[in-house]
Amino acid sequence: MKRLLGRGAIVTGAGSGIGRAAAKLFAAEGASVICFDRADGVEETGRAIRDAGDTAIVLKADAARESDVAGAVDLAMREFGRLDAVYANAGISGGLGPSFFEATAADWMQILEVNLIGVFLAIKHAARVMVPAQKGAIVCTASVAGLRSGAGPGPYSASKAGVINLVTTAANFLYGTGVRVNAICPGIIETGMTQPIFERARARGTEGKIGQLNPLRRYGHPEEIAAAALFLASDEASYVNGQALPVDGGLSSSLPVVGRDK
């Protein structure tokens, strides 16, 4: 359908997982994409996009550093002449880390800098060029862990709750500009971030139980989150603004129930 034909886009965290899947999908749908990540895997993402005959620029940079984010926006304007979509997807989990009350301020700051401040920087600098154009879509990766307890460590969960609030706040600060800001709240997805969970389950022979708490009774794939990001970045979501969309197999639709029938 080429839903992003002729448009300029930035995808952060494009070196693997959801970011890689989204960058490839955006490019396949016609966008010229800046693949932004500090990890070496971003080179592979850019190469895959170019091998498919689509347009990508690789930028090794840090989503938590304002000069890097501002530079990515400037690069898009210089190379593409426009910036229509930004997917602020870069994030870290911090691993299992220390227990809640043993975590330090430094533990929290490391996660907040990438997961929350990095998203703020993406919104800030995207808006800088989108507002004059009176159009643009900013999509942010939050998490079901930001909706309620039980889906991630404390600092990670708090950072993602912050993203959800940031999206609603930013959408209203951009009142009347034509720029939309939305979030996606993934459930458990097999990515580099969650790989230890999957490796432990496979070692125990319990991979089939991952995701069993949601009504679809399975885990998700990066391409399923990328498809939601494409929707929110496209004109098909032209009336969707300030929302946090769970893409979680239905996990967040219910509270825990004992003895649920199949």
Domains defined for the chain, CATH in brackets: 8-189+225-248 (3.40.50.720)
SS (H, E, C) 198-226: HHHHHHHCCHHHCCCCCCCCCCECHHHHH
Both structure tokens of 224: 């399923």
Q: Picking from 16-20, 40-44, 105-109, 257-261, which range would have the lowest pLDDT averaged per residue?
A: 257-261
**Entry pTM:** 0.93
Helix, strand, coil shares, percent, the chain, to 5: 45, 15, 35
Check pLDDT > 70 for residue 178.
yes
Sign for the CA dihedral angle at 129, 134, 138, 144 comes to: positive
Dist CA 115 CA 64 (whole Å): 8
Exactly one of 87, 156, 175, 219 is catalytic; name it: 156
SS (H, E, C) 30-83: CCEEEEEECCCHHHHHHHHHHHCCCCEEEEECCCCCHHHHHHHHHHHHHHHCCC
**Residues above pLDDT 70, as percent of the chain:** 90
Number of alpha carbons in the 13 Å side-chain half-sphere of residue 2: 6
What pLDDT does 150 receive?
A: 81
Q: Which residue in 68, 62, 63, 21 sits closest to 44, CA to CA?
A: 21
Active site residue 219: no
